[in-house]
Structure formats: C-alpha cells, structure tokens
Structure 1
Amino acid sequence: MLRITSSDRSPQCNGISRRSALKLGTLGLGALGLSSFNLSHLFAAEEAAGIRSSSKAIINIHLGGGPSHQDMFDLKPLAPVEFRGEFNPIPTNVSGIEICEHLPLLAKMADKYAIIRSLVGMFDDHSNFHTNTGYGRNDLRNVGGRPSIGSVVSKILGPSGSGAPAYIAYTDDHEGYLGPTYKAYRPQGGDLKLVGGMTADRLESRTNLLTSLDKIRRDVDSSGQMSALDSFTQRAVGVVTSGKVADALDLEQEDKAVRERYGRDGEVFLRSRRLVEAGVRVVTFDWGGWDTHGDNFNQLRRLLPKLDAGLSSLIQDLHDRGMDKDVTVMMWGEFGRTPRVNSGAGRDHWSRVAMGFMAGGGMKCGQVIGSTTENAEDAKDRPVQLQEVFSTLYHNMGINVDSTRLIDPAGRPQYLTDIRTPIRELI
C-alpha cells in the first residue's frame, strides 16, 4: 500500500480544514492512477500528442485566506493610522521600490521579481479556484466548471518526457470540464514510499498479474488500447518505484545548508523547485493562513519572516541554476484586506484590489506594476485584470491564448481566457 498524507492546516473563517489523506491500496488498474491523478492516462496523452521535453514550468503559490496587500507590498506610511497599520516600508535593491520591513531577504532581490499592486477581478471567495483557473466557481459550472491552469497545461502539453507527471498540486484541484484524466497528482506533504511490506518487486508482480487478468479484454480489443494501457501502467508504477518524482520529494537528498536556508516552513518551496527540476510542468500549493480578521499584525509578524525565507530561497535557487528564464513563480491570494483596521486589530475581506507577485519566466522584473489609491482601497493606475495574469502564465509556457481552444463536454470550443493579452509590462 502506498500512503500519502498531509498535516492538518489551520481552518479559515469558513471553518474548512485542509487536512487530507490519500491511500493507494489494492493496486487494481484504477488504483494505479496514483491517488487522484491517473498517470497511465497522462502517459497515453503524451504519446498520442507526440510531446517533446520542455523545461518551461509554473510554480503557483496561493496564500490561502487572503493576504493583506497593504501590509506586504503596498504600504501606505502617510495614510492615517487607522489605515496604515503597524509596519514600516524598507527600501529594496531597486531604486524607488519599497516593501514591508518583515521581508528583508526579498528586499535584497527586487530586481528578480515584479509586484502587481493593482490586481482586480478577484472574488470574495475563500477558495483557490480563481487563482488556479482565472474564473469564478460558477463559470461553465453546468459542464464541470473551468479547469485549473495545471490541468490545461497537462491537456495541451502533456508530460515533459522525464517520467514526471505534468501537474502536481499540494492543494485543492480543479480539473473542471477536462475531467479526471487531467487531475493533479497530489503527493500530500511527503515522500513517496511503499509501505505495509510492499516492495518494488511485489508492486511489479501485481502489475504483471493484472495485465494477465485482462488478457480476455485485450484479445477482443481491436483498437489496441488495452495493449497500450499495459505499457502506460508499467510507466506509472515506475514513477513510484524509481522515478524522478520520488527523488524530488525526498528532501534528504538536498544539501543540508540549502534545506536550512529555506527553513522547515519553507520545505514546500524547496520541494517545488526540485519537482520542476525533475520535469513537472505545473506545481501549485497553498501556504500559510492569511485570514486575519483579528490580530492581523501579530499574525503577519509570525508569517512574513517564514515566507521571506522560503520565497527568497526559491527565487535565488532558480536564478543560480539558470532556471529563471523558464520557470515562472506566481504568488497571490484570493483577495486583499480592508484598508481600515477593525476593532480587533484585524483586516477583513476586500476583493476590490489585491496584490500579485511574479518572478522568473524570462519576464522583465525589477518593477512595480500599477498603484492603488491613498488608503489602498482601489486600483488607481494601470488596473491589472486577473485574466491578464493567466494569459501571461500561458504565454510563458509557450501556449498561444489567441488561437488555443479546448472543447467542453457540450462540444463547444472554449478559449483559455477571456482577456487574451499578457501583461505588456512583463513581456
């Protein structure tokens, strides 16, 4: 049995816990999908599409709960005290750009990322749905809903050819109208290990037995699909027993000094870097608890230094390894927080404007895009639409949003975004 578990996460104000446990048990052909992601189908799609290896990738980081934009990357030191909060801005290594004093490591590398201060089109919804899809939950709901960018990339590009799945998620997944074939593989929070006495040899033996049991179906299968499935299933087993994904998830293989630089709370940042190095095209994860209706500033004093360590280490590592031209890092939350600090020293939901943070991808970094009004309540200059971000992400993956369309279950062609123009300042 293969068991993949994750530790409990703090609930948000809607009471939803992110704890989950995934088990791979009897090793039937269905179970060989490795939890919710059916790798055998992924390999079949790769072969059918003739996909070639590519190093383009996305790491999509969701700060669940809604991060306080004006306390991180858009401080307002001249605003009245009831708006500006308790933190001070500090200069970065790019003249004119200031960020929060609790992000000193990121302040030293502002030339390696871009800040969007005027992100609009967000939803007042405690969900990563729109930061994974670019749309609200109700869009195309009658045919399954919009698919996440990871599912879309998996559908269009397939796996990279390294043996790794195209899409890995450490969070809620949304395959939408593309269906379960394009769901993310979800190694929830740890290394892939065979447990319960299962060895690689026994796993291979069971797979071979299942192949034999399906002989009758293969005999009557004139299309040859069953024979193909035998091969794809063997490859799926290989991901568990000896694949690059298992190695990438094993952080003990990483230099101790590097692990310490990321910090214990930054392990998922390090693991994401290792996964894209192993050939995964899209990695997405939730990090931290940012639903700060009360005690906002003390919570941020705890969260921001950990985020600073993990995110700065990721950006620096991508740069040092020459991966910054190919790997795009996207960080954001579902919305911003209210300009006025409430009576509980917190900030409430605010979907009128939010922040976005982008790095790598060969983009023009070292800049701030857009601005907000005096108290950070609305976009002032250069509003950046949610879907502009997604068009940029697709562009960085080499996908043309002007011409690419997918067919939904009703037979209708669907564009990937409604706003099919990447952020011009970055491209």
Structure 2
Amino acid sequence: MYRCPGNQLSRRGFLAAGALGGVGLSLADLLMVQEARADQKSYDFIEAKAKSVIHIFLPGGLAQQESFDPKPYSPLEYRGEMGTTKTNTGEVFSETLKEVSKRADKFAVIRSMTHGEAAHERGTHNMFTGYKPSPALKYPSFGSVVSHEYGPRKNLPPYVCIPNMPNEFAGSGYLSSSYGPFSLGADPKNDNFKVRDLDLAGGVDMERFARRKSALETVNSRFTSMTSADNVGAMSTFYERAYSLLDSPDARKAFDISAEDGKLRDRYGRNEAGQRMLMARRLVESGVRLVTLTYGGWDMHQGITASIKRSMPPLDVALATLMDDLSDRGMLDETLVMVSSEFGRTPKINKDAGRDHWAKVFSVMLAGGGIKGGTVYGSSNAIASEPEENPVSPADLATTVYHQLGIVADKELMAPGDRPIEIVDGGQVIKGILA
C-alpha cells in the first residue's frame, strides 16, 4: 500500500457572504440561487471531483486497533486478542475486515486523526462540523453546508439522514433550519419499510392534492409576508420540497428500496448496515448530494473482542459491497464515501476486557470522489496512543471533503447578527490522499 508524505495547502482568501442563510426559499428560488453562486465562484474555482457524499458514521468510538490500525507486534494488553488480515495492497487490518481488505486498492485510510475531545458529544461535534464545540455558536454539519451551497438536485432533498438525524450536530447550526436534513423516519432493513410523508393521505388524489396545496398557499402567503422568522421561512421551504417529492414519481421512486434486485440486497446483507448502505447508494444515484447513515454502537468498554466480532462482519460485507456496487455503476469516481467515528479507543485493554475513550489518535477511511486508492496516510505510534507521522485534525478532514466537492472551505457564511464565519477555520487539504 502506498504511503504518502504530509502536504500543506495555504488558505485561500475567499470572502463570499452567504446572505441567504436565514431565508426560507422555494425550490425555484434555490435553483436560481445556485446559478448565481456558480457565477460568483468563477473567480476562485475549485474543480469538484465528487458530486455526492455517503458519510457512514459509527457512533460510540470505533477502536483503531480492532479495525484499520492493528498493532500485531505490541504486547497483548495493547494489541488485544484479535488477529489481522492482509490487504490486497500488503497492509494489515483487523481480522474482521476480510472483505474490505480485498478492496484496499479502492480507498485511503488516515491512521493519524486526532483531536482533544474524549466526550461523545464533543467528539461527535468535531467530526460532523470540523469545529471544536463552542458555547457561543452552533456550527452547521457537512450536510447542511452542502445543502446551503448547492441546494436540491432532481427534486430530491440535498441532504438525507438514514434512518434519522443521528445527533444534534448533524443539523443546520447557525444556518437556516431549511438546510437541515430530510430523515427517512424508518429503517430500510424492515420488511415493511416505508418513508414517512411520501404518500398522499387515503382518499386524496393528485387533483385534490393540488387544490389543497393552492388553498394552503393562499392562507400562508399573507402570514409569511409579515414575518422574517427563520422557522416560518424554513417551513415554507420544507413544504416546497415535500411538494416536489409528491409531484415527482422519479423522486419518490428513489426511496423505494424494494425496487432493488433481491440478489443485490442479499449481497449487501439484509441487516442495518447492508440496507442502509444500499439505500444511500440509491439516493446519491438519484440526485441526493450528501447522505449520512449510522450503524452499530462502538462504545465498547467491556468485552471488546466479542463485541467487534458481532458488529464488524455486517459492516465489512456491506462496505465492500457498496464500493463494488458504486464501481460497477461507474459512480465511485464521483461519490466520496467516508467512514468515521467520534474518536478511537484507549491503547491498553482495561480490566473489563474493553477499551475506553481515546481522542489522541484514531482512523478514518475515505473512498472514491477523487481519493487515491491504496493509500495509508499518517501513522500512529507502536501502541496506537498518539500520531507518529502527519497528524490530521477534524478541520483538515472537513477542508478536504469540501475541497473534493468544489466548496471553498474558508469561505465565510453569515451567522446571526451578520457575523461572518468561515465554513472551516484553519483546515488544510490533505493532498497526500488525493488522486
């Protein structure tokens, strides 16, 4: 597996205020805004390598030693009980990543992620926003920034969470709540899976729906014109997007996982990991810009070996299948897949045969969307207690994700009180993982 040296990119002086951040817009308005913003960015252009993102978040804190950064030569109390498996590029991962290891040429692993937040909420905030938590300001998530910068595509919400918004930091932060995620409200692994609010009520046909929509717009128009409150504007935007989904059979079809071939569903796995990843692929293929999904619980303070052996195999199979599926469809080059967690686990096994919270070093995986496959970036030391080479911060990771999407990470958006805030403050593009 190719190992790359550290690289730095100087920050760009790009000042463009997101003045529409607090305004609820119709779909037509959003599309016009995107055209205007495309023109605005022409003088500081970043070529987008990725059209969409699938963010697979593993809540609880995935152990680096039992996943992408095993330490087979360290003492037993540090390396743990699990063995390793060799990748198709000559590296070693944990023994439970057998299928993913066969596809190591398709992705990059960062083994030197680091921050100082060992509490779940604070670590999660870092990994969803690229910022340290602040009592003064609530920062927007990746999905909400992408929604703000690019808006809807093909009548689909720009930002979707599977099955629900996973935490409070996955929302729109200081941006208008209209840039928040659309949540499925149900798990696609369920046999009776159905996305909430996508079907007309019983006895209501499209003609009756159109009459109701017109009546509601008439009632709301005067009320909306009398206030600029964010929640009123946001609700208007939500209605417009809901109307777009109901009016578009193609958009509604994107959420119909039952339309997938049964054999492919079996390959992914008829479980949470498999069906959530398959749904994510359907959504980005149909036009959703960023999908966030969660799987499992990785806060393994006790019996980590048994817990990993139970939770990792479905993830291993589903993630390997997702990469194959995207590649087979010609989508991997334009879809950035990111696997992250809020932090890692302690270097030493505790008295309960588990590992505790550890934010000083952990691993993240990135595939597709202009990422150089077969790459390991950075390293941890012999006992996985801290970075040894090329430490990577959440701001660096966020800046790199935005860079691949064609978003200038130090562009300023407007927080309440007309306060300009950079999308990411101080991050550097991780050039060594880019193709």
TM-score (norm 1): 0.82
Task: Give 1:181 deviation, angstroms.
Answer: 1.5
Q: For residues 81-92 of structure 1, what are the structure 2 equivalents within 5 Å?
A: 81-92=76-87
Which of these residues, 402, 405, 408, is aligned with residue 415 of structure 2? 408
Tell me, in whole angstroms, the C-alpha distance in 2 between the residues paired with 1:336 and 1:153.
27
Task: Give 1:183 deviation, angstroms.
Answer: 0.8
Which of these residues, 96, 101, 125, is aligned with residue 102 of structure 1? 96
Moved more, 274-283 or 184-193: 184-193
Tell me, in whole angstroms, the C-alpha distance in 2 between the residues paired with 1:238 and 1:274.
18
Tell me, in whole angstroms, the C-alpha distance in 2 between the residues paired with 1:153 and 1:212.
31
Which of these residues, 361, 368, 383, is aligned with residue 369 of structure 2? 361
Q: SS in structure 2 opposite 1:406?
A: strand
Task: Give 1:371 deviation, angstroms.
Answer: 1.1
The answer to whether the Cα contact below 8 Å between 2:333 and 2:368 also exists between their aligned partners in 1 is yes
Q: For residues 257-272 of structure 1, what are the structure 2 equivalents within 5 Å?
A: 257-265=263-271, 266-272=274-280
Q: Percent identity?
A: 36
Deviation per CA, 1:114-155, whole angstroms, max 9, x where unpaired?
1111101252232332221112332xx434x11001111111
The answer to whether the Cα contact below 8 Å between 1:41 and 1:181 also exists between their aligned partners in 2 is no
Tell me, in whole angstroms, the C-alpha distance in 1 between the residues paired with 2:114 and 2:276.
28
Find out whether 1:153 has 2:163 as its counterpart.
Answer: no
Deviation per CA, 1:305-356, whole angstroms, max 9, x where unpaired?
1001111111111111111121111111111001111111111111111110
Q: Which residue is 1:45 aligned to?
A: 30
The answer to whether the Cα contact below 8 Å between 1:116 and 1:369 also exists between their aligned partners in 2 is yes
Q: SS in structure 2 opposite 1:305?
A: helix
Q: Which residue is 2:156 aligned to?
A: 164
Find out whether 1:70 has 2:75 as its counterpart.
Answer: no
The answer to whether the Cα contact below 8 Å between 1:82 and 1:341 also exists between their aligned partners in 2 is yes
Deviation per CA, 1:349-394, whole angstroms, max 9, x where unpaired?
1111111010001111111111111111111111112111111100
Gaps of 5+ in 2: 1-22, 39-47, 187-192
CA change 1:383–1:198 in 2 (3 A) is farther
Q: Which residue is 1:242 aligned to?
A: 248
CA change 1:199–1:311 in 2 (3 A) is farther
Find out whether 1:136 has 2:132 as its counterpart.
Answer: yes
Tell me, in whole angstroms, the C-alpha distance in 2 between the residues paired with 1:291 and 1:354.
14
Q: Which has the higher contact order (CA 8 A, sep 6+)?
A: 2
Q: SS in structure 2 opposite 1:72?
A: coil
Task: Give 1:408 deviation, angstroms.
Answer: 1.2
Tell me, in whole angstroms, the C-alpha distance in 2 between the residues paired with 1:255 and 1:174.
33
Task: Name the Cα RMSD after superposition.
Answer: 2.7
Deviation per CA, 1:235-277, whole angstroms, max 9, x where unpaired?
6323035344421221110111110011122111010111111
> Across the two proteins, how many residue pairs are aligned to each other?
378
Q: Which residue is 1:320 aligned to?
A: 328
Q: Which residue is 2:7 aligned to?
A: none
> What is the one-letter code of the residue matched to 1:65?
G
Q: Which residue is 1:191 aligned to?
A: 194
Tell me, in whole angstroms, the C-alpha distance in 2 between the residues paired with 1:77 and 1:333.
22
Tell me, in whole angstroms, the C-alpha distance in 1 between the residues paired with 2:353 and 2:32.
55
Gaps of 5+ in 1: 1-37
Task: Give 1:69 deviation, angstroms.
Answer: 0.7
Which of these residues, 250, 256, 260, is aligned with residue 262 of structure 2? 256
CA change 1:146–1:363 in 2 (3 A) is same
Q: SS in structure 2 opposite 1:325?
A: helix
The answer to whether the Cα contact below 8 Å between 1:204 and 1:237 also exists between their aligned partners in 2 is no
Task: Give 1:175 deviation, angstroms.
Answer: 0.8
Q: Which residue is 1:115 aligned to?
A: 109
The answer to whether the Cα contact below 8 Å between 2:397 and 2:427 also exists between their aligned partners in 1 is no
Tell me, in whole angstroms, the C-alpha distance in 2 between the residues paired with 1:84 and 1:218.
60
CA change 1:99–1:182 in 2 (3 A) is same
The answer to whether the Cα contact below 8 Å between 2:131 and 2:425 also exists between their aligned partners in 1 is no
Tell me, in whole angstroms, the C-alpha distance in 1 between the residues paired with 2:313 and 2:27.
38
Task: Give 1:304 deviation, angstroms.
Answer: 0.8
CA change 1:219–1:272 in 2 (3 A) is closer
CA change 1:375–1:40 in 2 (3 A) is same
Deviation per CA, 1:31-88, whole angstroms, max 9, x where unpaired?
xxxxxxx996455323333279997011111100001111111111111111111111
